[in-house]
A and B are shown apart, each in its own frame.
Chain A
Amino acid sequence: MAATPRDAVIIGGNRIPFARAHGAYANASNQDMLTSALKGLVARFGLQGEQLGAVAAGAVLKHSKNFNLVRESALGTPLDPRTPAYDVQMACATGTEAIGSLANKIKLGQVDSAIGGGVDSISDAPIVVSDALRAILMEATRAKSTGQRLRALAKIRPGHLAPRAPGTGEPRTGLSMGEHMAITADKWGITRQEQDELAVASHRNLAAAYQDGFFDDLISPFNGLSADNNMRADSSLEKLTKLSPVFGKDLGANATMTAANSTPLTDGASAVLLGSEEWADAHDLPKLANFVDYEHSAVDFVDGAEGLLMAPTYAAARMLQRNGLTFEDFEYFEIHEAFASTVLAQMKAWESEDFCRTTLGLDRPLGSIDRSRLNVNGSSLAAGHPFAATGGRIVATLAKLLHGKPGKLGFISVCAAGGQGITAIIEGR
């Protein structure tokens, strides 16, 4: 692997349980949730009064009033108020990007300690007025006289008043993420059965991890919720088979994507503590794993040249090549389950001789991923997916899985809106 000046150590993480939208956290704001996740992290690691190098996090959906969401959240914790904090935003890659960029700062010696993470709320989504009404209101604001102001306001028509909620549709295609994924799933011949199996495995793996106490030091409760409430420990193939498809309905009999093998809209927040080796030692903190490397990619999905959520396949190829690694070198794989078919399509692409040689420009396929190493403690289908909070969930989970396995590697893949993707490598210690 590429040598770096010094290691960026993952010390641990904390997240609040993820809640299905408009449920347990219906009245909580992004700031409430991120603050709670940060407070839990501070308590777990005894960081009260500590001045950290940086706190970086973000939210995909946020109010304009939350222009300084992360700084405001950090100020609500017992961290030293002199800890700088800033917002990051890269759709569903937000959390991983925040953590990855902080790891780079640590490697370069720019900071010694940092918290990275993310938060998202569908329940507290910013609902905005229509562009037409907004134009009128801005005109009224600019008006120099009462007469001008009244004339501007007189232009308001009832139709202008309909509020607009943010959607998960792609602005350039008008298609929802699910519709995009349905096209990709069909192209790669992903079956309904394998998607449902992946969904069942996600629920069962997550439930088993809870049962083992795996999350005892990764999650702290919020608003009366102490475990992800989307999780169905009794999920079974029989139950999932009964559901009707919700995406790609125009594919007719080939429609495979249901509510169960797609992630639900979710509220939640996560945070991960990073530090240099020296900083961790000086503060008597555990060192779970190293954040080794990460990579972005973007694809041309607008013209249909590539699937919207396939970008991580490209990032993975470049990242592994740079580090001289293949899939055989990895102990665990965390592939974000935006949809079950996303994971399956990415894996098929990495197995494909043609795709890997022709499209990714590799000598040979990256290879197949052993299912027993994939999302072993569950992933987004079961836990839910509060967009920006997913990265923190995955990094902390994988770091804990690799702790006590020095040198063993973990792979992360997260797809994001806008045809982007992010992948990362974590090394146990």
Chain B
Amino acid sequence: MAQDTYTEFATTGVGKKLTKALGLPQPAKLRRYRPGAPLIHGPVVLIGSTEASDALARHLLSWGLDVRRHVGPKEQVAAVVAMFDAVSTPADLSETVLAVGGLLKQLKSCARVVTVFRDPAQSQLPAERAARKGVEGLTRSLAHEMRAGGTANGVMLDAGVDVAAPSAAGALRFLLSGRSAFVSGQFITVGSDHGMLPTDWEAPLQGQTAVVTGAARGIGAAIARTLHRDGAQVILVDVPAAGEQLAEVTNEVGGTALQLDITRDDAGERILQHAQQYYGRLDIVVHNAGITRDKLLANMDAARWDSVIAVNIESQLRMNRALLDSELFSRPEGRVGPRIVSLASTSGIAGNRGQSNYAASKAGVIGMVAASSAELQARHGTINAVAPGFIETEMTAKMPFATREVARRLNSLSQGGRPEDVAETVAYLASPAAAGTSGMTLRVCGQNLVGA
């Protein structure tokens, strides 16, 4: 990874003063999840007096949080949860919004604002839909305004889903925690009451088996480490040529290595066979393996185009078919069903010069995930995508200095994310507490301006 010298300087005492005086970006040291550390340091203020918020408050209290309805004018606040679940016309936003606004100057560093509201698309009433859509707009704007590593995100509920449903609580907890350090300006949709909250929040994947493709390095290795930390047994897959590094990561996380080219016709079957042999179960599949073969479309050749499509999306479609047709992966057996998490990219959302092949494959992932959701949900499972923005990896370290420096600052947190940030989101989506969230693409980009 390339060193982010600017952020290191800007987080020193002198650096803070100087960057402020010059009006330069002020990246903060982000609060990241550490097992054993408190979920969040300081009071969490719950705004909005709906009945439903009481149920949500009970969750927060059960997590040992300092939940308040009001705080004193001088008190520091760690997070604000704003309930907009009952708005029926844009005028209804005012009271809660202004209450949130009044607290912004009291926010600690790396604070959180989470809005809770219902899916606009599900309302056919113009005023109600306008109000709900308004929450999206204000949340995104607030994310831009947050300072010192703070983020603002939303939890968007489907019509029939209770505000205190397991996955609504799970999404809220994720957004409050350090796991979502590099997630800002995003919405987590909760489409069903599926899911359950773990008894041990530090090991939500206990007893489960996960497979991670492209696990030898970078984001894939971070995902393997994170899933292992969260209690899962991990099968690490990468191409045979990456076997030496794959063995290192595998031995670090106590997993098993499977050297496999995922573009093989029988890749899905091989993964199933391995999971059956070594663990007798397979709960989570993370499609992380991907390649780039950048070229302007005018200069694109078939080899570059076809290999990117084959590795980044065709292989996933084929493996998913084999996985979903298998007893091992698709059988719910009273527990939470199968979970698939695919790596998309902000390039797949916004497009990127020189990446028509990559963007096509990653946009393809977003489409695949949306279209596969019904099949997974029918088995109490989920399929989601994670779209990383600028992440500090070996790959981005190879970018020209100036390009990299600009790319880092082009988001609301003014810094690049880490592979662990992507991994935390993957682990959250794979957890039983996210069983009600499916078919969506969650960006881990610090609210990158590109494709927002």
Q: Which residues on A are within 8 Å of B, measured CB to CB?
A: 36, 39-40, 42-46, 48-49, 77-78, 213, 215-217, 219-223, 226, 284-286
Contacts and interface: CB of A to CB of B under 8 A. Distances in A.
Contacts of B255: 43, 46
Given A43-B256, A44-B257, A284-B279, A219 B243 contact: yes
B282 to A, nearest CB: 13
A216 B259 contact: yes
A209 B447 CA distance: 48
A226 B264 contact: no
Contact of B251 (A43, A217, A226, A286): A43
A48 B240 contact: no
Contacts, number: 70
A284 B277 contact: yes
A213 B258 CA distance: 12
A404 to B, nearest CB: 12
B247 A39 contact: yes
B254 A219 contact: no
B244 A36 contact: yes
B279 A220 contact: no
A44 B240 CA distance: 12
Contacts of B250: 43, 46
B92 interface: no
A161 B208 CA distance: 64
Contact of B248 (A39, A49, A213, A285): A39
A364 to B, nearest CB: 43
A217 B264 CA distance: 14
B168 to A, nearest CB: 37
Contacts of B277: 284-286
B242 interface: yes
Interface of B: 236, 240-244, 246-248, 250-251, 254-261, 264, 277-280
Nearest to B234: A46
Contact of A221 (B236, B243, B254, B256): B243
Interface-centre pick from B236, B244, B255, B256 (highest chain A CB count, 10 A)? B244
Contacts of A219: 240, 243
B264 A44 contact: no
Contacts of A45: 256
Given A46-B278, A226-B240, A284-B280, A220 B259 contact: yes
17 contacts: A36-B244, A39-B251, A40-B247, A43-B236, A43-B246, A43-B251, A44-B259, A45-B256, A46-B250, A46-B278, A48-B251, A213-B240, A216-B260, A220-B243, A221-B242, A222-B244, A226-B243
Nearest to A222: B244
B246 A220 contact: yes
Nearest to B235: A46
Contacts of A226: 240-241, 243
A207 B77 CA distance: 65
Given A216-B240, A220-B259, A226-B241, A49 B247 contact: no
A328 to B, nearest CB: 33
A39 B244 CA distance: 9
Given A220-B259, A284-B278, A284-B280, 17 more contacts: A36-B244, A39-B248, A40-B243, A40-B247, A42-B251, A44-B247, A44-B259, A46-B255, A49-B254, A213-B264, A215-B240, A216-B261, A217-B258, A220-B247, A221-B242, A222-B244, A226-B240
B221 to A, nearest CB: 13
A221 B258 CA distance: 13
B266 to A, nearest CB: 9
Contacts of B254: 46, 48-49
A268 to B, nearest CB: 14
A138 B260 CA distance: 55
Q: Residue among B236, B246, B251, B277 with the most chain A CB within 10 A?
A: B251
A210 to B, nearest CB: 9
- Residue from A49, A219, A220, A223 whose CB has the most chain B CB atoms within 10 Å: A220
Contacts of A39: 247-248, 251
A29 B279 CA distance: 36
Contacts of A285: 277-278
Nearest to B256: A46
Contacts of B256: 43-46
Contacts of B246: 43, 220
Contacts of B278: 46, 284-285
The listed residue with most B CB atoms (<10 A of its CB), out of A43, A217, A223, is: A43
A358 B257 CA distance: 52
A39 B245 CA distance: 10
A226 B257 CA distance: 16
B76 to A, nearest CB: 44
A43 B247 contact: yes
Closest 6 CB pairs of A and B: A220-B243, A43-B247, A43-B250, A43-B257, A46-B256, A226-B241
A49 B251 CA distance: 9
Contacts of A42: 247, 251
B356 to A, nearest CB: 30
B323 to A, nearest CB: 19
B272 to A, nearest CB: 14
A220 to B, nearest CB: 3
Contacts of B241: 221, 226
B280 A221 contact: no
Contacts of A213: 240, 261, 264
Contacts of B260: 216
Contacts of B247: 39-40, 42-44, 220
A28 to B, nearest CB: 12
A40 B244 contact: yes
A220 B251 contact: no
